A and B are shown apart, each in its own frame.
Chain A
Amino acid sequence: MPSLKDLRNRIASVKATQKITKAMQMVAAAKLRRAQEAAEAARPYAERMEAVLANLASAFEGRDDAPQLLAGTGKDDVHLLLVATAERGLCGGFNSSIAKLARERAKSLIAQGKTVKIVCVGKKGFDSLKRDMGAHIVKTIELRHVKRVAFENADEIGDLVRQMFEEGEFDVCTLFYARFQSVISQVPTAQQLIPAIFGEAAELDAVYEYEPDEAEILEDLLPRNISVQIFRGLLENAASEQGARMSAMDNATRNAGDMINKLTLNYNRQRQAQITKELIEIISGAEAL
């Protein structure tokens, strides 16, 4: 049975923890709003890009002269998994769910006899993958110093991916990130970047003139599209991370509250028991006289 002093200390410590989790929740809420705005602001560009590329790409379907970024290398032996996670923990299952999806994919690819290479974006993904997938990790990119994800950050990663592809280091590239659905729901998603996959081409409302020709435009835009997709993934990830942290911290605050209630009840019970005991001692002492 803990003494009264012990209980007092526990209550004080849980209260301090509750204050921290509460503050973290509020910070995450503020950051979430900003991250969501950023993700929304980036949407028009990515959507336009995709619509235009889908149109251009559909013209190249089944042709031999399609660019490699679209058609692939013709093999699918080496897979590059680009795993984007957060730099910080304390955000519920956010990091582990992305890492889990990537790990499952990596395992099934290895079982099929493919070679797997992993590039981690974010420290947490690296931390959780290095134990069993350490041998496959070729590079880790940390964005710790980055407060707000800018397009340049995504472009750097894109450069790396493009360079590796040109040097023939992989055939298929997949990006892993968490799509932001709502504060309580973030969906780990795998998106194939190379060879590029586009949705159905929308019917063009006019006949376009291309300058330079279609092939050259496609060749110019496909590499850019990789950066754009990575950028979109990073922004979604940033919003998801804050959403996950917000709900995790909300839970933690509530748990701390429950714990304080229980401890206080216990504390009061013991305090009263002690008072009663003292009273009995005094009374029985007086009676003995």
Chain B
Amino acid sequence: MAGAFQFELVSPERLLLSEEATMVVVPGAEGEFGIMAGHAPMMSTLRPGVLRVSGAAGDDQAYYVRGGFAEAGPKGLTVLAEHAIALNDLNADDLARQIKEAEEDVTDADDDATREKAAVHLAQLRDVQAALAAA
């Protein structure tokens, strides 16, 4: 078993989680990455996705996070997410609505750049829906 490190999940409204974790999988802007104890210092922005925490006590938690960044330093890992909800609390209908809005954004886009951006956003939301369905 690898060593534990301090993990904090912070939303603008409050500190959601602060505990010892053995591994955290973060949905980074350029792909998911796992952080374990002793990881080299790094900083990455987030894409909407599911963040998985393996607690030191053997408990696993999953959060839906959107917007923000993750900072892995010598002191541990801090994830600052603009929106963070426990996956269990995430409403499937709410997500479906967001996906529908994103679909509209794709069709309404005026130029290629906006369309591409909206399409990426849509794909990310679909990923989350798949993750929610699997959970």
A interface residue numbers (CB < 8 A to B): 38, 41-42, 44-46, 48-49, 52, 150-151, 154-155, 205-212, 216-217, 220-221, 224, 227-228, 231
In the complex, which residue of chain B has the Cβ closest to the Cβ of A207? B41
* 3 shortest interchain CB distances as A-B pairs: A41-B14, A206-B41, A209-B42
B interface residue numbers (CB < 8 A to A): 8, 10-15, 28-30, 40-45, 67-69, 71, 73-75, 78, 80, 82-83
In the complex, which residue of chain A has the Cβ closest to the Cβ of B73? A206
> B74 contacts which of A155, A206, A217, A220 (Cβ < 8 Å)?
A206
Residues on A with beta carbons closer than 8 Å to the beta carbon of B43: 52, 208-211, 217
Q: How far is the CA of A45 from the CA of B10 in the complex (A)?
A: 6
Q: How far is the CA of A187 from the CA of B41 in the complex (A)?
A: 39
Q: How far is the CA of A46 from the CA of B82 in the complex (A)?
A: 11
Instruction: State whether A52 and B12 are in contact (beta carbons under 8 Å apart), knowing that A207-B41, A211-B30 are contacts in the complex.
Output: no
Q: How far is the CA of A231 from the CA of B14 in the complex (A)?
A: 12
> A151 contacts which of B15, B44, B82 (Cβ < 8 Å)?
B82
In the complex, which residue of chain B has the Cβ closest to the Cβ of A48? B80
- B42 and A212 contacting across the interface, CB-CB below 8 Å: no
Q: How far is the CA of A45 from the CA of B83 in the complex (A)?
A: 12
Residues on A with beta carbons closer than 8 Å to the beta carbon of B42: 208-211
Q: How far is the CA of A7 from the CA of B74 in the complex (A)?
A: 74
> A44 contacts which of B15, B45, B67 (Cβ < 8 Å)?
B15
Q: How far is the CA of A234 from the CA of B6 in the complex (A)?
A: 31
- A217 and B45 contacting across the interface, CB-CB below 8 Å: yes
Q: How far is the CA of A45 from the CA of B12 in the complex (A)?
A: 5
- A45 and B80 contacting across the interface, CB-CB below 8 Å: yes
In the complex, which residue of chain B has the Cβ closest to the Cβ of A154? B12
Q: How far is the CA of A38 from the CA of B13 in the complex (A)?
A: 7
Instruction: State whether A42 and B41 are in contact (beta carbons under 8 Å apart), knowing that A48-B78, A206-B73 are contacts in the complex.
Output: no
- B13 and A210 contacting across the interface, CB-CB below 8 Å: no
Besides the known contacts A209-B42, A220-B29, 11 further A-B residue pairs in the complex with CB atoms under 8 A apart: A42-B14, A45-B10, A208-B42, A208-B71, A209-B40, A211-B29, A211-B30, A211-B45, A212-B30, A216-B29, A217-B45
Residues on B with beta carbons closer than 8 Å to the beta carbon of A45: 10-13, 80
- A150 and B13 contacting across the interface, CB-CB below 8 Å: yes
Residues on A with beta carbons closer than 8 Å to the beta carbon of B10: 44-45, 48
- B28 and A42 contacting across the interface, CB-CB below 8 Å: no
Residues on B with beta carbons closer than 8 Å to the beta carbon of A208: 41-43, 71, 73
Residues on B with beta carbons closer than 8 Å to the beta carbon of A216: 29, 45
Chain A nearest CB, measured from B88 CB (Å)? 21
Q: How far is the CA of A228 from the CA of B15 in the complex (A)?
A: 15
Q: How far is the CA of A227 from the CA of B12 in the complex (A)?
A: 10
- B73 and A42 contacting across the interface, CB-CB below 8 Å: no
